[in-house]
Structure 1
Amino acid sequence: MTAAATAAAVRAGIAGFGEHPFVVDTAGNSMIVAAAPYIGIDIRGAARLAELAAPAAVEAVTSSSARSIGHLPVSLFVGLPPVRPGRENDVPATVVARLREELASLCHVEKIGVIDSGHAAGTMAIERAWQAVRSGASEFALAGGVDSYLEPETLEWLERNDQVHSAGPENNAHGFIPGEAAGFVLLTTTAAARRYQLSAALELMSVAVARETNLIKTDTVCTGEGMLAMFRALAGEPPAVKVDHLYCDMNGEPYRADEFGFASIRAADLFREPDAFTAPADCWGDVGAASGPLLLMLAEAATSKRYAAGPVLAAFTSSESGERCGFLAHHRTEARAR
């Protein structure tokens, strides 16, 4: 349930996959999912997303010795799943209301932004928070994402689109394990972190958004143009730094693997080792809009626990609607000196 436990589980390669209690596929087999074990399966819809989001947001605000910011305004940016079968219209209002309630005693939530574009939404929330902090519009910004594929209508929709990983007679080795998760990160400037004596090991160098026009579930061929544009926007051309390790939301689908293959070959000068990447969907399943903040959490954990491959870490996320968003981060000087 916590960031530290999640990072440790991914590092150890532990997967918590299991059978859905009552949803079966067209072959009559139980759907294999990655469910949050601390939330009852009877909690459904927008209420489930709110139940996932609340503890993650609270942990982000309290885990950096941030109790001293209780009287300060904090901007909130939330990434959500897109409109799809099984996603109710009241999701944005329900999730935001629950976050306001849970955070009321910890900080003063001022501005709110919602991005409901799926996989890249959480990273896009980080991008908006990063811009708000850099511009001085907000001293603190809380950015995150929450998603769940466990609604029966959503699982049936995924299966109709041949996206669910399965075995047996209906074998689909190239699908993904539907998951659910929430992740939040608290952003501020280096100066504010020092002023309020907040602990931080990672500093965002850049966050970039681009768009792919050759989308999954279409007859077009994706050669990674959108992802390449995102990589170039992150690091420049030629790149000012080399990435030591990459975190991504690849989930086993050929489209995503091919896209990254094309883009990484053309941006090879950005990576110290092109195959040095972590795709944690093999541990926590596909977590959709929660991906970006959780990838940033993994990068921060690797830095603070001193097992990161090097000082420069990056991540990317890809929405089915075309948004490509990623970040570039490095160890803070103070963290390296400790």
Structure 2
Amino acid sequence: MTPVTIGRDVVIAGGGARTAIGLTAPATMAAQRAGIAGFGEHPFLVDAAGNKFIVARVPPLGVESQGSERWAALAVPSAIEATQPLRERRAKLAALPVVVGLPPRRPGRPADAEKSLTDKLRAALNDVAATIPVETIAAGHAAGTMALEAGWQKIRAKASDFCLIGGVDSYLDIETLAWLERQDQVHGAGKLNNAWGFVPGEAAGWCLLAAREVATKWQLPFALQLLAGATTKETKLIKTDAVCTGEGLIALFRQLAAALPPGRKFEQVICDMNGEPYRADEYGFATVRMGSAFVDASDFLAPADCWGDVGAASGPLFALWAELAARKGYSKGSFTLMWTSAEGGERSGAVLQALK
């Protein structure tokens, strides 16, 4: 999708998160900045070699919680956190659109995922809006970023003044972990102690998007503006014999670079690289072709080294990281590129501008 070039400015006016390293957005981002890793042994699940899986588990959630119940325990508290600025102003909106990214169908994914999560979100947020239309995007790692793009488009097109966007994912279902190991994707698992996999995690992340003029009128604090969002498609996929040379990612970077002001470059990069060679190779090929758009393409942030691979929740968490960095003054520059790469081929990203 080509970035929209007309419409209203869009800012992040609230955020919420629940991860292995923090139960709120500020706690999560502070822990990530400090380099704290939330990895540990699963209480009882073991790999093919008889060793306990190393996972990134949200501390309060017991291992007995599975499926839709676990997803709701991740998503609902963080969605309430993200909409707290509306409660503080005693606001009751006529409608609050919600767009949430989810993983695609896979072993261990709840069969009732969309309906169950939609019902629970509507019940939790009915104090801030009379109606809550919920859209879901099941596209794996790119899903949360695609939700960010969708919310940005709604506000830019004046379809709504606010939009709550997010992503929810958990790899810690018993069937899901077993499936990941069969795919040779779990870091440290199996008889060969797999060095090229990722640490399975779980998380929910939410951003309350708002039209800038509305956020200003309501005196909602904001420090970051979304300049553009885009999604492209890669045809040479992981787990196939095709050699990926980053064409999908190159197309994404090219679209997003077009949204930068003349003479400016991406000064900060946040991405979902997780230890898998496919992702690193793809980024390497893409930056060879698009290196002129970066101040330093090799200087990137990959938070999976702290909160694990969180799949569909990645994009909203990246946006919250950039927002807090802008608010606290430790951003490496004004323009942040965030990108995510799904196994189904979706490549989704956004350009964020610090306003402080």
TM range (shorter): over 0.9
Structure 2 unaligned residues grouped into runs of 5+: 1-22
**1:248-271 deviation line (CA, Å, top 9, x unaligned):** 000000000000111112111111
**Partner residue in 2 for 1:265:** 288
Q: In 2, distance between residues paired with 1:27 and 1:239? A: 53
**Partner residue in 2 for 1:309:** 332
**Partner residue in 2 for 1:227:** 249
- With over 3 angstroms needed to count, the CA separation of the structure-2 counterparts of 1:219 and 1:88, relative to structure 1, is same
Instruction: Tell me how far 1:63 sits from its aligned partner.
Output: 4.6
Instruction: Tell me how far 1:139 sits from its aligned partner.
Output: 1.1
Q: Structure 2 counterpart of 1:124, which letter?
A: M
**Partner residue in 1 for 2:29:** 7
1:27 aligns with 2:27: no
Q: In 1, distance between residues paired with 2:122 and 2:345? A: 30
**Aligned counterparts, 1:126-275, within 5 A:** 126-166=148-188, 169-236=191-258, 240=262, 241-275=264-298
Kindly indicate whether the alpha-carbon contact (under 8 Å) linking 1:64 and 1:200 is maintained by their aligned counterparts in 2.
Answer: no
Q: Structure 1 counterpart of 2:283, which letter?
A: F
Instruction: Tell me how far 1:110 sits from its aligned partner.
Output: 3.1
**Partner residue in 1 for 2:17:** none
Aligned partner (choices 296, 301, 316) of residue 278 of structure 1: 301
Normalising by structure 2, what TM-score? 0.90
**Partner residue in 1 for 2:13:** none
Instruction: Tell me how far 1:65 sits from its aligned partner.
Output: 7.3
What is the identity percentage for the equivalent residue pairs of Structure 1 and Structure 2? 53
- With over 3 angstroms needed to count, the CA separation of the structure-2 counterparts of 1:137 and 1:94, relative to structure 1, is same
Give the match's secondary structure for 2:133: strand
Q: Structure 2 counterpart of 1:325, which letter?
A: S
**1:9-28 deviation line (CA, Å, top 9, x unaligned):** 11011001111112100000
**Partner residue in 1 for 2:351:** 328
**1:110-135 deviation line (CA, Å, top 9, x unaligned):** 33211011100000011110000000
Give the match's secondary structure for 1:69: coil
Structure 1 unaligned residues grouped into runs of 5+: none
Residues paired across the two proteins, number: 333
Q: In 1, distance between residues paired with 2:216 and 2:165? A: 20
Kindly indicate whether the alpha-carbon contact (under 8 Å) linking 2:234 and 2:347 is maintained by their aligned counterparts in 1.
Answer: yes
Give the match's secondary structure for 2:89: helix
Kindly indicate whether the alpha-carbon contact (under 8 Å) linking 1:65 and 1:198 is maintained by their aligned counterparts in 2.
Answer: no
Instruction: Tell me how far 1:106 sits from its aligned partner.
Output: 2.5
Q: In 2, distance between residues paired with 1:119 and 1:75? A: 22
Q: In 1, distance between residues paired with 2:86 and 2:297? A: 32
Kindly indicate whether the alpha-carbon contact (under 8 Å) linking 2:266 and 2:337 is maintained by their aligned counterparts in 1.
Answer: yes
Instruction: Tell me how far 1:46 sits from its aligned partner.
Output: 1.1
1:51 aligns with 2:73: yes
Normalising by structure 1, what TM-score? 0.95
Q: Structure 2 counterpart of 1:76, which letter?
A: V
Aligned partner (choices 107, 129, 142) of residue 107 of structure 1: 129
Q: In 1, distance between residues paired with 2:53 and 2:354? A: 40
Which structure has the highest helix share of the two?
Answer: 1
Q: In 1, distance between residues paired with 2:157 and 2:190? A: 54
Kindly indicate whether the alpha-carbon contact (under 8 Å) linking 1:64 and 1:199 is maintained by their aligned counterparts in 2.
Answer: no
**1:251-298 deviation line (CA, Å, top 9, x unaligned):** 000000000111112111111111121000000100000000000011
Instruction: Tell me how far 1:55 sits from its aligned partner.
Output: 1.1
